[in-house]
Each structure stands twice: as structure tokens, then as C-alpha cells.
Structure 1
Amino acid sequence: MTQTPVHPPWAVADPVGEALHVLRMTGTFYCRSELSQPWGFALPPMPGCLWFHVVTTGRAVLVTAHETVELGPGDLVLVPRGEGHTLAGSPGAATPSILTLEHATSQANYGVLRTGGGGEATTMVCGAVRFDSPAARTLIDLLPALVQVPAAPASRLGDVLRLIALEVEEFRPGGEAVLTRLADVLVVQALRNWLETDPGARAGWLGALSDPLVGPALALVHRDPARNWTVASLASAVSSSRSAFAARFTAVVGEPVMQYVTRWRMHLALDRMRAEDVTVAGLARDLGYRSEAAFSRAFTRVVGQPPGTARRGTSR
């Protein structure tokens, strides 16, 4: 009788969910907008950030360099890579830079915008968020230039939108904190919706995450990059033979197992250099290298320059 393989306690059953789990967001700015026709404004490019806009009442037109979308109550749109764009109450309306419009600011990263000519009203919640995890940024880079999620009341996303609409309509003490947290949930729910419905979410790196053999292994590397992973240990973790796992990984991901592990560690190292005052020795230790020299060789091979040079280049 064949026994069912027993997965180790660190095995990951839902690699795509794990990718969503690491979507740690830094709210760059959130804004509650009270607008009246005619109205419009332009939002500047914000590389490295994701813009989101949700209409709670009224209508809006969003225009990027590549497309135009019309939004109604309950509609949500993401601009994943921070491309500059305009929002207006109707096509052809004037769109001055939002930086020239006065905001009532109650917190460093939260404001209220009131503008327009006194006509038909539109209310929106907008924001720009930055993702802290390299896994999250890899996911964001795979999204289309614009993600539109039409209103769907009978859904979890619809539930979040209703809560946001209530907070906008009945703004109470602590409303800024509630709105910013709901906005974070909204972005994750919108990404979940895209992952579940768009065929593009089943290709490339995301397709690899969905693979029943390779996906759990990728999630293990993302979760614990400093572990002393080998092809054999990852194959064992997903209950596969070493040869079958290695062949499958290369076919699905497009590179060998350990090449991916090393590249991922170096992405993390670069990310740490940009965000923290870290030493090369500290990075080597934290990413599982026995010596600074071994880490430096791997870093130079992947990044194209020694870690000391890269570290100096990220200094402000």
C-alpha cells in the first residue's frame, strides 16, 4: 500500500496566497475627494507606487497615455506602476496638476480634496501605495498597465467598497485610520480578483506559482530565503524526486533551481541596501551565506558589481 507523502511543517499549500500575503504596503498618500462638475486634475507619475481610485458616488473619467476608462459608483481602477494620468468629471474637462490644488490635510499621509464648479457631485477615495517586498513588486510588474474592477455588490470586494462608501458619507472621528486600512484591503482584494479572473495571471512567474509542484517550492524560498536550500531539500519539501523536480522547475520558471534561489537572495540584498543602513557582512549572514566572500561573489555575478559598490550607489 502506497503511503501519502507527509509534507514538512513549513510546506506551503497556497503559493499564490503566499504572494498576496507578502503585499506589505506603505501608504504614500490617501485622499478623500469631494468633487463637483466641472472638475478635473492630473496626477504625476510615481514610479514604484501603485495608484488606486474608487468612485463612491457620481462618475469620473480616467485617462492614461494608452487608454480611457469611465467609472461609476462602486468601480475601482488600479494604475499598478504609478503612471501619470488624469481624472475628470467628463471628457475634455480642464485637468490642472493636483499639486496646485489645495488639500485639507489632517495627517502626514492623508488629505481631503474639495474642488469643482458646484454642479453634479462625485466622491472618491484615491491613494498611492508602495510595496515593501520584492515578491510583491515582482507580482505588480506582471500586472497590465491598468486594472479595472467593475462594481460587483455581491462580492467580498463589493463589501469593502460599501464600507468605504459609508466612511466617506458619514465621516467620524478616526475615519482617516479606517479609510487607510480599508484601502489596503481594497488593493489586495482587487489583486485577488485579477488573479482569479484574468488569463494573464496564469502565465510566467504567476503561472509558476500556480504549478502544484513548483509553486510551493517558490513560496518556501520566498518565505525563508536564508535556509540552506538545495535542489534535493526543495524536492523533498514538495514530495518529489530530485531529478523530476529539477526538470519541472527549469521548464516552468525558465531557469535552474539554485540560480533562482541565488537571484532571489540578491534581489533581497539590493532591497535591504535601499531601505536600511546594512553592512555586507550583515547581509551575508542574514541571507544564509557562511562567509562575506561567498556572498560577494554571488552578488557580483548576479548584479554585475560588487556589493560595496552597489551599497555606495544606494546611499543618499
Structure 2
Amino acid sequence: MDPLSGVLSLLRIRNYHSAALNLGGDWAFHFPEIAGIKFTTVVQGSCWLVVEGEQQPQRLQQGDCYLMTRGRRFALYSDMSQVPIDSDRYFQRLAKDELILDYGGQDTQLVGGRFEFTAVPAQVLLSSLPSVVHLTGVSAQASVLRWALERFISELQQRQPGRSLVTEHLAHIMLVEVLRVHLDTLDGEGTGWFAGLADRYLSSAIGALHDQPARRWTVEELAGVANMSRSAFAQRFKNVVGVAPMEYLTRWRMLLASDRLRNSADSISSIAFSLGYESESAFSNAFKRVMSEAPRHYQRAQQACSA
């Protein structure tokens, strides 16, 4: 399994809803800060998007899609001369997980889905992304994203058996398409996890770590996988990814461990040994250093949240 698929497989959706906006005439709305990520597509018309913390507004045309990764406040405008008003006053709740905003007609129509994920892997993915990823309507990924959003909204409306599983898979599909676009834009630039995946030297080594997390890797072995000298590999890995190779391996192991502590009945000792640790205490020390709490406390807290 490639590294992106491996991390995505650990994501679990905790909450989700759809929203449709039908807008006409002159208008502007601001939207509050809210947890989770938000996919949106412009079905008809065009508008401006302004996200808190971003200096430049983005022009959205019919067919465009965007992903917002930070849950920041944002505003949508028919034109930038309008003064935004509170969107909460105009939203209507059609169902528990379905919202609609009607204002002035249907010159501009947007549909979106918001997903809130549990688990630390979501932080790994989203912290490495810009706050907004914009896909133009002509891109192949935008076409897939629009299809997935339509299916997502249909699932919510029809309420058929298996809806939760289907919506989770659709969320993953949308994420993959947006992340592929982001990876293509890096082209050997930037820093962080995605920059490592996009790096032609480091990607093979990161893939090896994800494939065999329990192996007792050395920097020399990983350098060989990357076809680099030990010193050049170690320096490049730290500069691009942001952490040393062995620290990266420890963090990946802890992501796998946190998922099993939360979603399986495996004992702490069995998890420790399966991830390459010779003792439960060595594993517990590593887990506490990365996750800021002992594995037993983490497991109990997760069980309490799901009870």
C-alpha cells in the first residue's frame, strides 16, 4: 500500500453534512469557523471566495471545486463591493445532516460536503496542506470531485442501508483527488510530508517505511532504497520532510498504534511487538513521547469517547 493510501485508510469520519446554496442578485455571506474539512463545487454561476488568513480572494467559476482544510472563517461574494451578512440566519435544516440556503434566486448555485475526522492521521494530512486547494472546472480531478459530491448528497437524501460506509468512501475519493492535484503542484518544492512524497529520491524510502514499519531500519538501508549516500539522504530527508528518518518511522508506528488502540481489542504488548518493539515499556515510552500520553490512557480515553 502506498503511503497516501496507508494514511487515508486510518481516517475515520466522526461527523458530516451536506449544504446547498442557491443565490441570486447581489449578495455576500460570511460563514463561521467550524471543525472539519469542506468540499464545495460551483454548479452554476460564479463568485468570489475569501478565506481568513489568505491575502488574495479566489475567483470561482462554474465547474470549479475547492477544498478548505482548516475550518477557518470564510466569505462568498457575488462581487467584492458587497458587505457580507451572517449566513446562519438564512440556513434551513432539511434534515440532521442536510442544510440549504436560499437567497434571491439561482443565478449561482453551490453544493458542498463537510467531513469531520477523528484520529491523528487527519492532522498529518491536513497540516501539510494549504488552507484552500482550488481545482479548476476543466481538470479531471474536479470532474471526479463533482461526481463524488453528487453521490454524497444523494446518499444523504435517500438514506439507504450502508449509507455511512458509502459516505466514508466518497470522502476518501474526494480527498485523494484533491491531494493528487496538490502533489502535482509541488514539483520538488516545499517542505513537509507531501513534499517528501513528491520528492523523486525520498518517495521510495518513505514507501519502504510504510510497507514495513516493524523492520529495524537503518539510515544506511533507507539511503540505499533512495539510491543516495547516507549523509546526503539524511540531510535531504530532514530538510524536505522536516524530521529525521528514524523519527519519521517512530511517528508512523505511533499512528498505526493509535488506530489499533482505538479500533481493535489488541493488547498493548501485542501492538508493541507487531511494530518492532522488543518490550512494552519501550513502546510505551515512544508512544508517550509522540502522542503526549501513555498508550493505556489513550486507549481508555478513546473507549470513553465511543461509549
With normalisation by structure 1, the TM-score equals: 0.71
Which blocks of at least 5 consecutive residues in structure 1 are unaligned? 1-11
The 3 A distance-change label for structure 1 pair 184 and 111 is: farther
Following superposition of structure 1 onto structure 2, how do residues 226-237 of structure 1 map, counting pairs within 5 Å?
Answer: 227-231=214-218, 234-235=221-222
Q: Which residue of 2 aligns with 1:31?
A: 18
Does the 8 Å contact 1:53/1:76 carry over to 2? yes
> Per-residue displacement from partner, 1:271-297 (whole Å, max 9, x unpaired)?
555666765334324423232122123
Tell me which of 117, 129, 144 is aligned to 1:160. 144
Alpha-carbon separation, structure 1, partners of 2:255 and 2:101 = 41
Q: Which residue of 1 aligns with 2:74?
A: 85
Tell me which of 239, 250, 253 is aligned to 2:234. 250
Does the 8 Å contact 2:219/2:246 carry over to 1? no
Tell me which of 274, 282, 288 is aligned to 1:294. 282
Paired residues, what number? Answer: 289
Alpha-carbon separation, structure 1, partners of 2:272 and 2:6 = 25
The 3 A distance-change label for structure 1 pair 32 and 116 is: same
Q: Which residue of 1 aligns with 2:130?
A: 144
Which blocks of at least 5 consecutive residues in structure 2 are unaligned? none
Shift of 1:230: 2.0
Alpha-carbon separation, structure 2, partners of 1:71 and 1:175 = 31
In the alignment, residue 156 of structure 1 is paired with which amino acid? A
In the alignment, residue 53 of structure 1 is paired with which amino acid? T
Q: Give the RMSD, CA atoms, in angstroms.
A: 4.1
Shift of 1:57: 0.6
In the alignment, residue 92 of structure 2 is paired with which amino acid? E
Alpha-carbon separation, structure 1, partners of 2:191 and 2:269 = 37
Alpha-carbon separation, structure 2, partners of 1:191 and 1:294 = 35
Flag the structure with larger Rg.
Answer: 1
Does the 8 Å contact 1:202/1:210 carry over to 2? no
Following superposition of structure 1 onto structure 2, how do residues 4-153 of structure 1 map, counting pairs within 5 Å?
Answer: 18-19=3-4, 22-24=7-9, 26=12, 28-37=15-24, 41-47=29-35, 49-67=36-54, 68-90=57-79, 91-97=82-88, 101-105=91-95, 110-117=97-104, 119-130=105-116, 137-152=123-138
- The percent of aligned pairs where both chains have the same amino acid is 27
> Per-residue displacement from partner, 1:36-86 (whole Å, max 9, x unpaired)?
326665444334x22121111123333322243332211112211222323
The 3 A distance-change label for structure 1 pair 70 and 212 is: closer
Following superposition of structure 1 onto structure 2, how do residues 182-201 of structure 1 map, counting pairs within 5 Å?
Answer: 184-198=172-186
Alpha-carbon separation, structure 1, partners of 2:297 and 2:147 = 48
Shift of 1:127: 1.4
Alpha-carbon separation, structure 2, partners of 1:287 and 1:23 = 19
Does the 8 Å contact 1:30/1:180 carry over to 2? no
Does the 8 Å contact 2:183/2:198 carry over to 1? no
Does the 8 Å contact 1:60/1:70 carry over to 2? yes
Q: Which residue of 1 aligns with 2:295?
A: 307
For the residue of structure 1 that corresponds to 2:87, the secondary structure is coil
